Structure 1
Amino acid sequence: MRFEPTFLVTATFAADAATRREPHRQAHLAHVEAMLADGTALLAGARADLGASVLVLRAADATAARNRVEQDPYWQHRVWTGIEVVEYLAVTPQSLGSRY
């Protein structure tokens, strides 16, 4: 099995995120859609309690993953108040050497 550089990103929501995110939601979704389309994001979503967004990103290193997340409108407009990036061993068809 061969793992490619993959990172688990947790972006913590501001306490008032439900209100704060509305003006930026479409731009945020467009950013996420672009990362999914270009293969940077394997997965993206939010915890049901709106405590944080969770993304699994392909990137050269943790700094590159963080830089990509910092381009998101939610970070730029303080809908997210913190970003944690950790290396993640993602099992994918590619890491298994399989085609589905």
Structure 2
Amino acid sequence: MRFEPTYLVTATFAADAADRRGPHRQAHLTHVEELLRTGVALLAGARADLTASVLVLRAADAGAARVHCEQDPYWRHGVWTAIEVVDYLAAVPPTLGRT
């Protein structure tokens, strides 16, 4: 196993996210699918209580990870109200890692 720069992101939903997210949901999912397809995201989903989205991202640094999230339609349209980015030690198998 090897470790590479990886960040755990928690993006908190607005109190009225259920109402706000509808018009932006497809664009959000398209953005997340692109992060997964390109290998930037290793994992994307939400907390079971639906209070926050959770992502594990590869990036050069925490700022770069944050930029990926700030480009998401949920951030741009106020569905997310806060983004927390912390260092994460992802043990990446060779089949998932960059070469």
Q: TM-score range by the shorter chain?
A: over 0.9
Q: Could you tell me the TM-score, scaled by structure 1's length? A: 0.91
Tell me how far apart the structure 2 counterparts of residues 22 and 48 of structure 1 sit (CA, whole Å): 18
Q: Which residue pairs with 2:47 in the alignment? A: 47
Cα RMSD of the aligned pairs, angstroms, is: 1.5
Residue identity over aligned pairs, in percent, reads 78
Q: Could you tell me the TM-score, scaled by structure 2's length? A: 0.92
What is the identity, as a one-letter code, of the residue corresponding to 1:10?
T
Tell me how far apart the structure 1 counterparts of residues 72 and 25 of structure 2 sit (CA, whole Å): 10
> Where do 5+ consecutive residues of structure 1 fail to align?
none
Q: How many correspondences in the alignment?
A: 96
Runs of 4+ aligned structure 1 residues displaced above 3 Å come to none
Tell me how far apart the structure 2 counterparts of residues 60 and 68 of structure 1 sit (CA, whole Å): 11
Tell me how far apart the structure 2 counterparts of residues 56 and 47 of structure 1 sit (CA, whole Å): 13
Q: Which residue pairs with 1:60 in the alignment? A: 60
For the pair 1:15 / 2:11, whether they are aligned, the reply is no
Contact preservation (8 Å) 2:12, 2:81? yes
User: What aligned pairs does 1:17-96 form with structure 2 within 5 A after superposition?
Assistant: 17-94=17-94
Normalized per residue, the structure richer in strand is 2
Higher mean displacement: 85-94 or 6-15: 85-94
> Where do 5+ consecutive residues of structure 2 fail to align?
none
Partner-residue secondary structure (3-state), 2:45: strand
Partner-residue secondary structure (3-state), 1:83: strand
